[in-house]
Amino acid sequence: MLRPWLACGVVVPGVLLLAGACGGSSSGGPSASGPLDEDAGGGVQAGPAGLPCDVAGVLAEHCQSCHASTPQFGAPMPLVTWDDLNAPSRADPMKKVYELAIERVADERRRMPPSPNAPLSDAEQKTVADWTAAGAPRSTDQCGDPTDKPPPEGLSCTPDLSLAPESAWEMPEAAGDEYVCWGVDLSKEQATHVTAFAPVIDNTEITHHIVLYEAPSAYSRVPTRCSAGSAIAWRMVLGWAPGVGPLELPPEAGFPISTDPARPTHYVAQMHYSNPTGKKGAKDKSRIDLCTSAPRQHEADVMAFGSQSFEIPAAPPAGGRYTIDCALTVPAAFAGLHFFAAMPHMHQIGVAMSTKLTPAAGGPDVDLGTMPSFSFDSQAWLPVSATTKTGDVIRTSCSWTNNTGAPVRFGEKTGDEMCYSFSMYYPRIKSSLWSWAAPASGPPVGATCN
């Protein structure tokens, strides 16, 4: 029974874009200001605050989620300014904070930042150690640090973890489209669910889309060029595209984090950069902040409806629009899935998109995400609510106005097109043969389109 929905073990083209804001209620965290709110912005004042930019950058990224100007999560002191680092330590007043800091980042038993946060890399430790060894001199550096950006408005929980690359990506001047991946491993002692995602975009000029995956193995934290596609074993978790904000899951669902430090959850962020104007030295260090909580009732997941195989003719039909309609009949194995958020996704010439569920038992269609006038520049996760039953039909319709003068096909590049309705649901399908793209992969495994 699983068959019709299973992918065939090929590499599925990656998704370019996605993610955004949706309805759904909060994870119940405290509201308003949190460690990543304005206080954490301390890193930005690195110059005036008297710290060298490289040291300030390490503190901003690895320490200030807790050691903010107003310390959070039980941290005893801020680590934002030169004065903060030169104050006497609370635990050991004979030492200055910066002396204790370099001990604690290398202390296996009482490491800072504490697990599950990643330890400092060797390079980062050296940055701090060199400065410490030089007697922690005051600096007049003027530096802006992207990592201090607060998460977007609209979150009702307080982010307590962050997925961030080890270093900024520097965009080559001559590159048009560039795909870059980095990974972060997470594990928690207690069973934990991710309940909200808040992408924090550093450089909006070159960052076009982000797709967050969960992978079966670790991926380097250093941003490196990667393919536009994704391995079949990568599960999609989230996406960001222009216009979208944070995404909070409903109170009964979350994305689980491993409790086994030997087998952490491997997140991989696939960044799509574009530098059409050939800017010199453009850098990006976007990150994704996460809210977590105790495990919720259901494990969430993402799949995509739509199609991966279509060609939009150069000459538009009468009326100017070319539309495909795809239909998928829900097999018994996938009855009982509850969909709660959807992100209709196309590229530049997309003009309208909708996904609907027609119940086998009769009755009105249920909306699974409709954008009557689609715009590439303002995408979003839409709140939806539908539960599948055997024999229900899920229909996705994508419309384009092809003004390019040439046929346009499905593909990953900005000039190609897509017809994916990313759909968040629970409970998660656990089969290792399952792919998020299976419902859009065409017959015999996915929808039939015409």
Nearest distance from C-beta of residue 299 to ligand HEC, angstroms: 25
Torsion of CA 102, 108, 110, 115, to 10 degrees: 100
Q: Which of residues 25-64 bind ligand HEC (CB under 6 A)?
A: 62-63
What's the rounded Cα separation, in Å, for the pair 164 and 221?
8
Which residue, 132 or 258, has its beta carbon nearer to ligand HEC? 132
> Binding ligand HEC by CB under 6 A: which of 14, 24, 113, 223?
113
- Considering Cα of 124, then 129, then 134, then 137, what sign does the dihedral take? positive
Query: Is residue 186 involved in binding ligand HEC (CB under 6 A)?
Result: no
Which residue, 124 or 301, has its beta carbon nearer to ligand HEC? 124
Q: How many residues does the chain have?
A: 450
Which residue, 228 or 288, has its beta carbon nearer to ligand HEC? 288
DSSP 298-334: EE-EEEEEEES--EE-SSPPTTS-EEEEEEEEPPGGG
Query: Is residue 91 involved in binding ligand HEC (CB under 6 A)?
Result: yes
What's the rounded Cα separation, in Å, for the pair 333 and 4?
10
Query: Is residue 112 involved in binding ligand HEC (CB under 6 A)?
Result: yes
Query: Is residue 123 involved in binding ligand HEC (CB under 6 A)?
Result: no
Query: Is residue 221 involved in binding ligand HEC (CB under 6 A)?
Result: no
* Amino acid of residue 252: E
- The two tokens of residue 127 are 């940055």
> Binding ligand HEC by CB under 6 A: which of 9, 114, 278, 407?
114
Which residue, 153 or 189, has its beta carbon nearer to ligand HEC? 189
- The two tokens of residue 85 are 């680092």
Query: Is residue 421 involved in binding ligand HEC (CB under 6 A)?
Result: no
Query: Is residue 342 involved in binding ligand HEC (CB under 6 A)?
Result: no
Query: Is residue 74 involved in binding ligand HEC (CB under 6 A)?
Result: yes
Query: Is residue 101 involved in binding ligand HEC (CB under 6 A)?
Result: yes
What's the rounded Cα separation, in Å, for the pair 316 and 318?
7
Query: Is residue 419 involved in binding ligand HEC (CB under 6 A)?
Result: no
| Extended strands (E) in 308-439 | 311-312, 322-329, 338-345, 350-358, 366-371, 382-387, 393-400, 408-409, 419-426
Which residue, 186 or 384, has its beta carbon nearer to ligand HEC? 186
Q: Helix, strand or coil for residue 341? A: strand
> Is the separation of the CB atoms in 240 and 20 below 8 Å?
yes
> Binding ligand HEC by CB under 6 A: which of 76, 137, 336, 443?
76
> Is the separation of the CB atoms in 4 and 33 below 8 Å?
no
For helices 53-62 and 122-133, the axis angle rounded to 10 degrees is 130
Which residue, 105 or 424, has its beta carbon nearer to ligand HEC? 105
Q: Is 262 left (phi over 0), alpha (psi -120 to 50) or beta?
A: alpha
Which residue, 43 or 369, has its beta carbon nearer to ligand HEC? 43
Which residue, 97 or 271, has its beta carbon nearer to ligand HEC? 97
Tokens 């207690």 belong to 190
Query: Is residue 100 involved in binding ligand HEC (CB under 6 A)?
Result: yes
> Binding ligand HEC by CB under 6 A: which of 3, 10, 73, 283?
73
Nearest distance from C-beta of residue 103 to ligand HEC, angstroms: 7
- The two tokens of residue 303 are 């799949």
Q: Which residues bind ligand HEC (CB under 6 A)?
A: 62-63, 65-67, 73-76, 79, 89-91, 97, 100-101, 104-105, 110, 112-114, 117, 120
